[in-house]
A = this chain, B = another copy of it.
Amino acid sequence: MIIIMRPNATAKEIAAVEQQLIDYGFKTHPIYGETRTIIGAIGDKRLLSMNQMLMMDGVENVVPIMRPYKLAGKELKKDPTVINVKGVSIGANALAVFAGPCAIESQEQFSGIAAQVKKSGANILRGGAFKPRSSPYSFAGLEDEGLKIMANAGKEFDMPICTEVLDTRDVELVAKYADILQIGARNMQNFKLLREVGKCSKPVLLKRGLASTIEEWLMAAEYIMSEGNENVILCERGIRTFETSTRNTFDLSAIPVCKELSHLPIIADPSHAAGKSKYVCALAKGAIAGGADGLMIEVHNCPEKAMSDGEQSLTPAMFSQLMTELSPIAAAVGRTL
């Protein structure tokens, strides 16, 4: 880290800062300028927080040199991570397309949608058994029964299934049925849950928090990976801004930024970003052209009767049309669909 002293820092203050750094095992490299002193410090910053240095008398600012994540970053692993789930690769040349309804409502509903999205080219089923709802009075999912419905459909259509887990107490149960565990945007910094899915052997789809920076997101991935689970899939789903014409603002640039900083695969969820089905296709196309490794799309056979998020769901026919239109875009960026 680099410690920038105030212009009027005294020699005593400067000496105290140097001593503190040395005490924590850092090598110091002071630069005594005309107006102020700057101290470069080389060492393991985990032993000494930037905040501790900032608190010392005479210190104006402290600048980190290294990024705070190791396993999620590229310093230790340069090659892109490819995750294989029951024969489907995520992060490979072929795009991963997760599709399905927001909430699982019945076996008939779910299997019906599964049949249609599979036909259109989706390769992973998604659906909610445990639903985070902003109102305690809203439908919160079929829970255990929903998991079984999903698993049945997964077997019937030979597709891996992905569903959200909300509670540390449910990780074991959800992992029993699901092939990919989803951590939702609201739980991106539920650190206990991150550690728990990190102890699990199933890949984790990690959605970006509503107001999380990319660095915080990669730190959340680091939590999971630090417990031994290296199969993390990032999912950009829009961030909260002042704009109200969409539910969230889809941050397209998160795709190239994550590709630069991390080896993990990244997919896009245009459904939650837009919040309105009429904008989903434009975002999906933009995400693939911008380099995403796949998509997560909400599809419902009867959106106006959906028990959750119908507003943003495509019908199977709209989804089929989208897949047709995506194909040449995928080809244009060297990917297959």
**Which residues from chain A sit less than 8 Å from chain B, CB to CB?**
2, 4, 7, 27, 29, 31, 33-34, 36, 38, 40, 42, 46, 49, 51-52, 54-56, 63, 65, 68, 75, 132-138, 140, 166-169, 186-187, 189-195, 210-211, 213-216, 219, 222-223, 226-227, 239-246, 249-257, 260, 273-274, 277-279, 281-283, 285-291, 303-306, 309-311, 325, 328-329, 331-333
Q: Which residues of B contact A49 (CB under 8 A)?
A: 138, 310
Docked-complex contact A283 and B279, CB < 8 angstroms: no
Docked-complex contact B134 and A219, CB < 8 angstroms: yes
Docked-complex contact A246 and B257, CB < 8 angstroms: yes
Bound-complex Cα distance A75 to B274 (A): 24
Bound-complex Cα distance A249 to B208 (A): 15
Q: Which residues of B contact A140 (CB under 8 A)?
A: 191
The chain B residue with its CB closest to the CB of A27 is B33
Q: A222-B135, A242-B241, A245-B213 are in contact. Are A65 and B52 (CB under 8 A)?
A: no
Q: Which residues of B contact A241 (CB under 8 A)?
A: 239, 241-242, 249, 251
Q: Which residues of B contact A311 (CB under 8 A)?
A: 51, 54-55
Shortest Cβ gap from A324 to chain B (Å): 11
Task: Identify 27 residue pairs between A and B in the complex whose beta-carbon atoms are under 8 Å apart, listed by A's number.
Answer: A2-B2, A2-B63, A7-B75, A31-B31, A49-B310, A51-B309, A52-B305, A54-B311, A68-B134, A68-B135, A168-B169, A169-B192, A211-B211, A211-B242, A213-B245, A214-B245, A239-B241, A240-B242, A243-B254, A244-B244, A246-B253, A249-B251, A252-B282, A255-B282, A256-B278, A286-B289, A331-B332
The chain B residue with its CB closest to the CB of A46 is B137
The count of identical subunits is: 4
Bound-complex Cα distance A49 to B249 (A): 23
Which of A140, A189, A222, A331 gathers the greatest number of chain B CB atoms within 10 Å?
A189
Q: Which residues of B contact A305 (CB under 8 A)?
A: 52
Q: Which residues of B contact A331 (CB under 8 A)?
A: 328, 332
Which of A213, A252, A273, A305 gathers the greatest number of chain B CB atoms within 10 Å?
A252
Docked-complex contact A289 and B279, CB < 8 angstroms: no
| CB contact between A29 and one of B31, B75, B194, B240 (< 8 Å): that residue | B31
Q: Which residues of B contact A283 (CB under 8 A)?
A: 252-253, 256, 290
The chain B residue with its CB closest to the CB of A170 is B192
Bound-complex Cα distance A42 to B37 (A): 10
The chain B residue with its CB closest to the CB of A225 is B136
Docked-complex contact B250 and A252, CB < 8 angstroms: yes
Bound-complex Cα distance A254 to B285 (A): 14
Q: Which residues of B contact A288 (CB under 8 A)?
A: 289
Which of A46, A278, A283, A285 gathers the greatest number of chain B CB atoms within 10 Å?
A285
Docked-complex contact B245 and A249, CB < 8 angstroms: no
Shortest Cβ gap from A77 to chain B (Å): 14
| CB contact between A132 and one of B56, B191, B325 (< 8 Å): that residue | B191
Q: A55-B303, A239-B241, A257-B279 are in contact. Are A333 and B191 (CB under 8 A)?
A: no
| CB contact between A40 and one of B31, B192, B243, B252 (< 8 Å): that residue | B31
